[in-house]
Amino acid sequence: MSLNTNTWNRLRYTLYLPIYDLIADRIFRKYRKRSVELLKAKPDDSILLLGAGTGLDLPYLQGYINLTAIDITPGMITKLQQRAEKLKIPVDARVMNGQQLEFEDNSFDAIVAHLILAVIPDPLTCIKEVERVLKPGGTVIVFDKFLPDGQRPTIVRRLFNQIANTLFSDINRSIGAIVSDTNLTIELNEPAALNGTFRLVRLRK
């Protein structure tokens, strides 16, 4: 039985909060910047930051005026709001479950999904919600760790995933499998951190 539940995610990321920025910013800073560049959004586009954490993407979104950020962990949202105020970036920040988005259909021009699809308990439900709230022609940019499509995890990797999935995230998910039951199109898939273990993926509705 997996411990990867919304309740556990809220608890573990509350515990990680004091050290989260040290790990998640220093390692991934250049990929966050690259990801926002690949999104190719306009300054007045309505943009959703899904699983936004402490707002580490905000420095690369200065000049954007219609930002919404959600995360399931209240402490993360508090830090995000503090960062947004310091950077003088307007953000509608809310505590929300990424598997049950409280937005109308076709609400956003673009969605940023950094380090969420390998963490959230049900990525298939999450990506369907992303598709639902994204406007036709809208763009999703994903930065996360994925197995190459069509590759099966080794026995060692499957065993290690029992620990990894409990402590931080699933290391055996495939972006192709996640989007396969949607009408989202993968239009870019490029290697990123750790020799391509992490990928930058752009999806289009």
pTM given for the model: 0.91
Q: How confident is the model at residue 24 (pLDDT cuts 50, 70, 90)?
A: confident
Domain 6-204 part of CATH 3.40.50.150: yes
Q: Report the C-alpha gap between 121 and 6 in whole angstroms.
A: 7
CA 194-115-153 angle, to 5 degrees, is 60
Question: Tell me, what amino acid is at 43?
Answer: P
3-state SS, residue 11: helix
What pLDDT, on the 0 to 100 scale, is given for residue 194? 84
Mean pLDDT within 48-73: 97
Beta bridge partners of 93: 69
Domain ranges of the chain: 6-204
Contact between residue 2 and residue 165 where contact means Cβ atoms under 8 Å apart: yes
3-state SS, residue 92: strand
What pLDDT, on the 0 to 100 scale, is given for residue 150? 76
3-state SS, residue 60: helix
Using the predicted structure, report yes or no on whether residue 42 has a pLDDT greater than 80. yes
**Helix (H), strand (E) counts: the chain:** 6, 7
pLDDT > 90 in the chain, percent: 72
Question: Tell me, what amino acid is at 42?
Answer: K
Label the pairing between strands 67-71 and 47-50. Answer: parallel
pLDDT > 70 in the chain, percent: 96
What pLDDT, on the 0 to 100 scale, is given for residue 50? 98
What pLDDT, on the 0 to 100 scale, is given for residue 3? 60
Q: How confident is the model at residue 17 (pLDDT cuts 50, 70, 90)?
A: confident
